Amino acid sequence: MTETVARRRHSPAVYRRRRLVVLLGLAAVIALVVWLVVAPPWRGSAADGPAPVASSTPTGDPVATDLPALESDGSAATPTPGPSDAATAPDAESSATADDAAVTSAAEPCVPGDLLVEAVTDKTEYAAGENPQLSIRLTNNGDACTLNVGTTGQVFTVMSGNDTWWKSTDCQAEPSDMMVLLEEGQVVTSAAPITWDRTRSSVETCGATERQAAPAGGASYHLYVSIGGVNSTNTAQFLLL
C-alpha cells in the first residue's frame, strides 16, 4: 500500500518575505537603468574635464570707437548729464579709472609708421559767417596696438603760408589721457569736430573777448593735425570767402 505524504504549506510570512525580495530586486534593476541613462560612466572623463574658456582680446584696454572731442578752446568736450546720469557719474568715473589702471602689455604700443593720420574739414570753402569744422581721421595699418588718443595728444593747427593763425593747445583746459586698443585695419575719427572761430589764437588772448579776425576774400588756409605724437601725412586746404 502506497503511503501519500502531504506537502506542508508555507506560512503567510514566508510568502511575504519572498514577495519583498522580488520587489527589492526589481527596484534595484530600475535604479540601475535610471543611473545608466542619467550619468553613464563612459562619459565621465568628458564631463569631468574643464569647461571651455571664451577667448578674449589681448589687452585690457577698451577698443577704440572714435576720438574724444575737443571744444573750440581746445578743452575736452563734456556732455551735460541728465537726471539719471548725474546719479551714476561717480560710478562711471570710477569705472573709467579702473579701466585705465587695467592696461596690460599684451598689445604693444602703436608704431608711428603703421598709423595714418589725416586732417579733415567739413568743407573746402566757407562763406562769410561760416566757421570751419575740423576733425582727425586715424587708420591703423599695422597689428593691433595701443595708443593714447586723449585730448592731451590731439593738436589742431591752422596756418596760412608760414603764419600760424590758430592752435588748439593755446587755450586748452583740463586735457585728459585715453588709452585705447586699435585693431588691425581699424579707422576711427573724431567723435565731434572742433570749430575754428576764424580768429588768431595765442596763450595771451585766451580770455579776450575780441581777437584778430582771419583775412577772408578767398584767403587760403591749411589744417595740420597730430595725435599721440604722430603728425598728419596731409593738410586739409580750405578757403575763407
CATH number at residue 153: 2.60.40.10
Enumerate the β-bridge partners of residue 139.
116, 187
Grid coordinates in use for 235? 593738410
CA distance 167 to 64: 25
36 plus 94 within the same structural domain? no
Q: Does some domain include residue 173?
A: yes
For residues 108 and 36, membership in a common domain is answered with no
Cβ atoms < 10 Å from Cβ of 18:
11
Q: Provide the pLDDT for residue 3.
A: 54
pTM of the entire predicted model: 0.64
Question: For residue 72, is it within any domain?
Answer: no
Residues 102 and 37 occupy one common structural domain: no
pLDDT at position 79:
39
pLDDT for the residue 204: 94
Question: pLDDT value at position 14?
Answer: 66
Q: Does residue 56 belong to any structural domain of this protein?
A: no
Instruction: Using CB atoms within 10 Å of the CB of residue 127, give its burial: 0 to 12 exposed, 13 to 18 middle, 19+ buried.
Output: exposed
Domain total of the chain: 2
Q: Are 149 and 226 in contact (CB under 8 A)?
A: no
**153 found inside a domain:** yes
User: Does 95 lie in the same domain as 21?
Assistant: no
Kindly state whether residue 144 falls inside one of the protein's structural domains: yes
CB atoms within 10 A of CB 230: 19
Q: Report the chain's terminal Cα–Cα distance, integer Å.
A: 147
236-240 and 154-160 as β-strands: parallel, antiparallel, unpaired? unpaired
Residues 6+ positions from 139 with CB-CB distance below 8 Å: 115, 116, 118, 185, 186, 187
Residue 9 confidence (pLDDT): 62
From the centroid of its chain, how far is CA 5?
98
List, run by run, the mean pLDDT of 10-residue segments along the chain (241 residues). 56 70 76 70 51 47 70 48 41 50 68 97 97 97 95 96 96 91 95 96 92 97 97 97 97
Instruction: For residues 114 and 20, state if they share a domain.
Output: no
Say yes or no: 114 and 34 in one domain: no
Residue 169 in any domain: the answer is yes
CB 232 within 8 A of CB 118: yes
Q: What is the pLDDT of residue 85?
A: 43
Whether 58 contacts 107, CB under 8 Å: yes
User: According to the model, what pLDDT value does residue 106 have?
Assistant: 74
Same domain, 92 and 30: no
Same domain for 133 and 36: no
Q: Within this chain, do residues 140 and 233 fall inside the same structural domain, yes or no?
A: yes
Residue pair 124/239 in contact by the 8 Å Cβ criterion: yes
CA distance 134 to 90: 31
Amino acid at 114: D
Query: Are both 28 and 92 inside the same structural domain?
Result: no
- The kind and range of the H/E element at 161 are none
63 in a structural domain: no
For residues 172 and 223, membership in a common domain is answered with yes
Could you tell me the residue range of the domain that residue 34 belongs to? 16-45
